[in-house]
Amino acid sequence: MISLFRYMREALMRGVQVVVGTALFDVWPLLSLRHAILRLYFQAGAGFLVGRHFQFHRPHFLRAPAGARLTFAQNVKINSNVEIDYSGGVEIADDVWISQNVIIETHEHVIGSGPKSGWLVKWFPLEIGRDAWIGANAIILPGVKRIGARAIVGAAAVVSREVLDGEIVGGVPARMIGQRPAEREGE
């Protein structure tokens, strides 16, 4: 019975996202309605904004860990065409920006013999730290446990390892290309 409930909830949520993710919901007051509806499914703090054509889902929801959730802290800004697989669980801290066309994956298939449908699936939790910025067209691969506070992932980067606090990464695969200046008192 729980499986049927989880299936129906996921199917309903995906359908609702298709509707509220259209350009029609980009105008006020429908934009406020988009965010209110998303708060029914996900924990989101004040200042939460999401562009159109987003997809927050659990691809293997019937087999995924039951406690895996997607949470957004305060002032999280997500641009258009962002896909977040939260089957392993994703926590997004305050003041995070996620630019357009970003893909975040938290599961992988363990390649085995026989048909792909029988392969094992592994899930990985992900934390995106305070004031991080994920650039346009970036991909965060499964197994990345953390994008550090104040970190910047450059446009079109493919992240396959943890990004440390304040680190700026870019490239394929992503590697350190710089460091954000230290925060000054009061910022």
Looking up residue 7, the CATH number of its domain turns out to be 2.160.10.10
**Residue 116 domain-assigned (yes or no):** yes
pTM of the model: 0.92
How many secondary structure helices (H) and strands (E) does the chain include?
A: 2, 19
Please choose, from the candidates 124, 187, 128, the residue with its C-alpha nearest in 3D space to the C-alpha of residue 163. 128
Segment (H or E) for 61: none
d(CA 157, CA 5): 37
CB 144 within 8 A of CB 160: yes
Helices marked H in 42-165: none
**Residue 92 domain-assigned (yes or no):** yes
d(CA 166, CA 169): 10
**Residue 186 domain-assigned (yes or no):** no
Please choose, from the candidates 140, 179, 177, 180, the residue with its C-alpha nearest in 3D space to the C-alpha of residue 161. 140
d(CA 91, CA 68): 10
The amino acid occupying position 109 is H
d(CA 41, CA 129): 22
The whole-number pLDDT of residue 186 equals 66
CB 60 within 8 A of CB 88: no
CB 96 within 8 A of CB 133: yes
The whole-number pLDDT of residue 17 equals 94
The whole-number pLDDT of residue 66 equals 74
Domain count, the chain: 1
**Residue 184 domain-assigned (yes or no):** no
Stretches where the chain sits below pLDDT 50 are: 1
**Residue 185 domain-assigned (yes or no):** no
Q: Could you report how far apart the first and last alpha carbons of the chain are, in Å?
A: 50
The boundaries of the domain holding residue 131 are 2-179
Q: CA-CA-CA-CA torsion for 168, 108, 91, 155, nearest 10 degrees?
A: 30
**Residue 187 domain-assigned (yes or no):** no
Please choose, from the candidates 164, 162, 163, 160, the residue with its C-alpha nearest in 3D space to the C-alpha of residue 173. 160
The whole-number pLDDT of residue 7 equals 80
